[in-house]
Structure 1
Amino acid sequence: MTKNLKISLALVAVVLAVVGALLAANRTPKASADASGGTAGGQGEAAPASVLVRPDSHRLSTAKDGKVTVVEFLDLECESCRAAFPVVEQLREEYEGRVTFVMRYFPIPSHKNAELAARAVEAASKQGKLEAMYQKMYQTQESWGDQQVSHEETFRGFARELGLDMKKFEADWKDPATAKRVEKDRQDGLTLGVQGTPTFFINGHRPQIQSEQDFKAAIEAELAK
């Protein structure tokens, strides 16, 4: 194992602990109000599968047997989501073919560019570039996130870099149906009691995740059933 790899793995090991510390800052009062008393997907009854994963939900990775599904409700402007991103990517690689990873939009209203970014990812999906745009958002988030100015032109630049048909991208990005699609994800999150991002469900339950080891243990427990 190279020195750089050791350093990378050590950093990944502490990322989810950082996520836990940042999560409180990414809670939305509206979510708390709309989902008051909601415990869907906790340690008791599993979240309804029909709400958790819709037919049009975006699967970043798909397991052939469909035995284990990890669903993440995320905000592309959320710092803790960005911190969790490399862990999710590593787990996707490690469990390729064995675990399905699903991405659901949950833009926090106080994040000025979160909904705009989600619509950009959704528009990119119309040209087969959802994953590339989703990754681009997190890789560049430090340059545009947590700002009270619109980054519409920044996101247009990403579309050009990905080689998208800009006329189609622009039309899809501004299409009311795209905003409706993003909002549908957010409303499902509220129904399930999501109060902040990232929120993970593993086979319908929300595990207590404080580290990468906790995440892997929860996945392994479901694979072992």
Structure 2
Amino acid sequence: MADLKVPVGNDDHCAGDESAAVTLVEYGDFQCPDCGVAYPIVKQLQKHFGDDLRFVYRNFPLPMHEFAETAAEAAEFAGSKGKYWEMHDALFEHQEEFSETFFGDLAEQVDLNPAALSRALENESFEDKIEDDVNSGEQSGVHGTPTFFINGKLHDDSYDLATLRAAIEAAVEK
């Protein structure tokens, strides 16, 4: 079984306590339909496990998705302003609406300056962070999205709710 080669660190976006029994890392693409399916499943897992689960999202935009890189940059921009999870959620909840003008509108919805986002996108201000995420995924054997790791071990099974919950429960019991 593959291991997560780059441990969770200060540059990661983490929801939940560092001392949680289980850390669930997702390599995802904001435009990927399968990641869109996984999004509410992760939300349910977070609710179910509460303080026992820490969730980490890493960018893995796939080249086939026209707006995946832009969406990842928008999320990183929001993170630089303390609103990463608001943007993360909004991107998945509006995945079908991605367009050239969409990201500025979304920035407004999460109380961010659309002009500042536009400048950050033009300057590719967060390209290095996204590249670091992609590289860490490739080092860990990620080939597609979503890919999950549970306590540093590749979850090489379905990401449906029952299967992920059972895998996390097994990790909590260890």
Same fold (TM over 0.5): yes
Q: CA deviation at 1:196?
A: 0.4
Q: Which runs of 5+ in 1 are unaligned?
A: 1-38, 42-46, 145-150
Amino acid in the other structure paired with 2:26: E
Q: How many residues align?
A: 173
CA RMSD after TM alignment: 1.7
2:117 aligned residue: 169
Q: Between Structure 1 and Structure 2, whose CA radius of gyration is higher?
A: 1
Give the number of the structure whose residues are more often helix, by fraction. 1
Amino acid in the other structure paired with 1:136: A
**Residue 153 (structure 2) pairs with residue 205 (structure 1):** yes
**Residue 169 (structure 2) pairs with residue 220 (structure 1):** yes
What is the 5 A alignment of 1:32-47?
A: 40-41=2-3, 47=4
TM-score (norm 2): 0.91
Cα distance in 1 for residues equivalent to 2:97 and 2:133: 26
TM-score (norm 1): 0.72
**Residue 135 (structure 2) pairs with residue 187 (structure 1):** yes
133-142 vs 205-214, which deviates more?
A: 205-214
Determine what percentage of the aligned residue pairs are the same residue: 35
What is the 5 A alignment of 1:44-193?
A: 47-48=4-5, 51-59=6-14, 61-63=15-17, 65-144=19-98, 151-193=99-141
Cα distance in 2 for residues equivalent to 1:52 and 1:75: 20
Cα distance in 2 for residues equivalent to 1:137 and 1:131: 10
Q: 1:214 to 1:184 in 2, by over 3 A?
A: same
Q: 1:166 to 1:142 in 2, by over 3 A?
A: closer
Q: CA deviation at 1:82?
A: 0.1
